[in-house]
Amino acid sequence: MKNNVMKEIIKEKLLKCEILLTEEKLYLLENYFQEVIRRNEIINLTSVIDEKEFAEKHIIDSLYLNKLFYLSESGKLIDVGTGAGIPGIILKIVRDDLNITLLDSVKKKTDFLNDVIEKLDLKNIYVINDRAENLGKNREHRENYDYSVARAVSNLSTLAEFCLPFVKVGGFFLAMKGEKAKEEIDGSIKAVEIMGGKIEDIISYDLPSGYKRKIIVIRKIKNTPENYPRRPGIPEKRPIK
Ligand SMILES: C[S@@+](CC[C@H](N)C(=O)[O-])C[C@H]1O[C@@H](n2cnc3c(N)ncnc32)[C@H](O)[C@@H]1O
């Protein structure tokens, strides 16, 4: 079985980034990888199926969020457009204390996430099948999280409308982005402001093979106006400019 190979690959890459994990956590990460690959034959979860690439582009990238940004103990986090559970499932594996909600609009993906959570016996993690535009209006979720995160979902202007309504005033929206983050920031200033956010920091890092990544840290400084997010589809069709 390839299991141990993946565990060693993850371990070696983590060491390069000075991230130390217990054998138990490495085992869970390896099992998560196996589950994604197995289900990927039936539903399209990721185009990254090579072990080394998966370890770096998905696992290490998600763990950098935990390494570089202080996520408070027992904080509540929502991963918007989580897909196969990235970064949400990976964060949950290393952070028992965080309360994590995984949101995705595709039912096949949320079914997969529920299966994985059961198989890996993860606790304090919840899955919701809905669109961000709908859930952001729901009183139980609106301005109810310390953090919202999103990776590879949309441009930053649209993401501000998807993600900031979930965040309490004083909390953060963390956008995981690639090299072109600067251009995206320029096009999102108005949307961030309208949604009640303020760009506070841009954290840059390189993955072990040199891929350039950024975390855009947006603090929620005032409530999101009631009329946002707009109807499903509108934030993507007509991003605020
Ligand atoms: C390219 S995938 C990225 C998945 C994962 N975050 C990652 O980094 O691999 C984008 C995901 O966002 C979801 N998505 C797109 N728009 C959404 C919306 N308005 N509400 C909820 N989920 C959405 C899609 O279903 C898809 O699973």
Distance from the alpha carbon of residue 86 to the mean position of ligand 1, in angstroms: 10
Mean pLDDT of 118-125: 98
Is residue 77 classed exposed, middle or buried when 0-12, 13-18 and 19+ CB atoms within 10 A define those classes?
Answer: buried
CA-nearest residue, atom 7 of ligand 1: 86
Percent of residues, the chain, with pLDDT higher than 90: 87
pLDDT recorded at residue 5: 85
Q: Which residues line ligand 1 (CB under 6 A)?
A: 81-84, 86, 103-106, 109, 131-133, 151-153, 162
pTM of the model: 0.97
* pLDDT over 80 (residue 83): yes
pLDDT recorded at residue 183: 86
Q: In this structure, what token pair is assigned to residue 158?
A: 């649209």
To the nearest whole number, what is the mean pLDDT of the chain? 95
Distance from the alpha carbon of residue 133 to the mean position of ligand 1, in angstroms: 13
CA-nearest residue, atom 8 of ligand 1: 151
> Binding site: residue ranges?
81, 132-133, 151
pLDDT recorded at residue 89: 98
* pLDDT over 70 (residue 87): yes
**17-25 contact pairs (CB < 8 A, 24+):** 17/60, 17/63, 17/64, 17/67, 17/208, 19/60, 19/63, 19/67, 21/94, 25/93, 25/94
pLDDT recorded at residue 1: 44
pLDDT recorded at residue 108: 97
Mean pLDDT of 132-145: 98
Distance from the alpha carbon of residue 105 to the mean position of ligand 1, in angstroms: 7
pLDDT digits (tens, 9 = 90+) for 153-212: 999 999 999 999 999 999 999 999 998 888 899 999 999 999 999 999 999 999 988 999
Domain boundaries along the sequence of the chain: 70-237
The class of domain 70-237 in CATH terms is alpha beta
* pLDDT over 60 (residue 2): no
Distance from the alpha carbon of residue 156 to the mean position of ligand 1, in angstroms: 13
